[in-house]
Amino acid sequence: METEVSGIRTLHVPAPGCTRMTLHIGAGWADESFVTRGMTHAIEHLVMGAAEPGRLESNACVTPFQTAFWANGPADRVGRFLGQVAAALRDLPLDRLARERNVLEAETHGHTYGAHEVLLKSRFGNAGPGLGMFPGLGSLGLEPEVVARHHAQWFVAGNAVLTVVGPMPEDLDLRLPPGQAPARSFGSWSAGPAWDRADVSDPCASIEGRDAPAASLAIRATAGALERRLRHELGIVYGVVPDLIRLPGTGRVVLQLTTRSAPGAEAEVATALIEELEHRGQVGVTADELAEDLEWSAALADDLDTVASHVQLQAERLLAGQPAVQQADARARVAAVTAEEVTSALRESLPTAMLLVPRDCTAPAGLPLVPTCAAVPAFTTPRLRRRLRSGLPAGAELGFADDVVQYRDEDGDVHEVRFDECVGVGVARDGRLLFGRRGCFVWVDPREFRGAEAVVQAIDERVPAELRFALS
């Protein structure tokens, strides 16, 4: 049932027992920048630190496009807790920011990234959804003015959804500051189907397409077919995991497939991934696969966890600018999908297909190697001379001209960062590590190249100072 509480869009499913309530805010770490990384997480900590859950199951989390505060327990206690969360969102306790720094650093210390984050970074560069590869705190992530501005921009009533499964608490006060979420924009990668080597332990793949039932059905069917073949028939993977990520406000999704492969089987698994995607672009799904998908969803329809998951998904849809769909209607939409629709969806998405393999993996058959960062076709800048004792690999070159720095790596790829698209500058003694929005990074070190001191000086003069941070 769709309603409204305290001016916030609300999805309520009455049910006996405890109340599961979540306040969803349509702001996540993908709405940060390279140097403000971590500020959404800081807001979550400030809010949770001001709430007293008592004897409740409660927590909060930050995902690419959402910050969620939730509790599960007796309705009155749940309502009281979420009321405290809303009060802290109305009057953010920024005075706690300094004390939370150590807590945030402790929480993120040692955290690393996985295949999902590498796929997103390869598709979106060093910005937006690509920031998941950089856990921790950016140089401006805990600056009070920066955090306050981010909070005022995103944590508003028009960018919130409340979900309630169970009895509705009485006398709820979840008022938030008025306002609507800013518009988002995303770059697109369409050089595929292609492959690249990356910092992943196992092959993985992604495509981008329209947000429709055919897309979610296609990725589930593809993962199922791959697991049957690669695990149960060939015994070369532990599993194949599908994932769907909505890009809010665009009507598009990113579909990802990750694997856990047996040592030595990476090239075979990589080839199977792209072959299955291409095959689905020709045949769609079978009648048996569609029936199995519907049978599974119908069997779990009345399970309370399934109901709660569906409501959470509808909150995500509302925050992405789409209408909520009743659970029965969602199943009916999937039932109406035809093999031709799946075929069309995947065929349309294949130019965005990106396959990543471990760096020591042999080349998968039949695909071109296309660097997923902003590599350029040719080295166009004046080259700096390498020092005699340079420790860089053979073939490495550094070039600089006016507002662009280029670096040719040992594979011959030319990486480029222009000053006007620089998102961060790591500082280490005399060297500078430039991060470009489109995914490239270039290391400028006077110890490796003669004349690089002038490049460092140009970087310091022409790239905004707030983008600089110390390299650990």
pLDDT by residue for the chain (472 residues), tens only, comes to 789 999 999 999 999 999 999 999 999 999 999 999 999 999 999 999 999 878 889 999 999 999 999 999 999 999 999 999 999 999 999 999 988 888 888 887 777 789 999 999 999 999 999 999 887 778 888 899 999 999 999 999 999 999 999 999 999 999 999 999 888 888 776 677 889 999 999 999 999 999 998 888 889 999 999 999 999 999 999 999 999 999 999 999 999 999 999 999 999 999 999 999 888 888 888 888 887 877 777 766 667 677 888 899 999 999 998 898 888 888 888 888 888 888 888 889 988 999 999 999 987 777 888 887 878 888 999 999 988 888 888 889 999 998 999 999 888 889 999 999 999 999 998 999 999 998 899 999 999 999 999 999 999 999 999 999 888 7
Condensed to tens digits (0 to 9), the pLDDT of residues 353-398 reads 999 999 999 877 778 888 878 788 889 999 999 888 888 888 899 9
Cβ(341)–Cβ(284) under 8 Å? yes
Cβ(66)–Cβ(25) under 8 Å? yes
Q: What is the DSSP letter of 192?
A: -
Residue 449's beta-bridge partner residues? 386
Helix pair 213-227, 327-335: axis angle to 10 deg: 70
Would you state the pLDDT for residue 105?
Answer: 84
Rounded distance between C-alpha atoms, residue 468 and residue 426, angstroms: 6
Report angle CA 122, 128, 131 to the nearest 5 degrees: 65
Cβ(170)–Cβ(346) under 8 Å? no
Q: Which residue carries 């720094």 as its tokens?
A: 101
Q: Select from 374, 397, 402 the least CA-distant residue to 450.
A: 397
Could you give the 3-state DSSP secondary structure of residue 20?
Answer: strand
User: Could you tell me the domains of the chain?
Assistant: 2-165 (3.30.830.10), 194-285+337-358 (3.30.830.10), 397-470 (2.30.29)
Would you state the pLDDT for residue 112?
Answer: 79
Helix pair 339-349, 266-283: axis angle to 10 deg: 130
Q: Which residues contact 103 (CB under 8 A, 6 or more apart)?
A: 45
* 315-350 residues labelled b (16+ CB within 10 A) or e (exposed): bbbbbbeeebbebeebbeebeebebebbbbbbeebb
Q: What is the DSSP letter of 403?
A: T
Q: Which residue carries 């109406």 as its tokens?
A: 336
Cα–Cα distance list, 333 to 216, 329, 338, 362 (Å) = 11, 6, 10, 41
Q: What's the pTM value of the predicted model, to 2 decimals?
A: 0.91
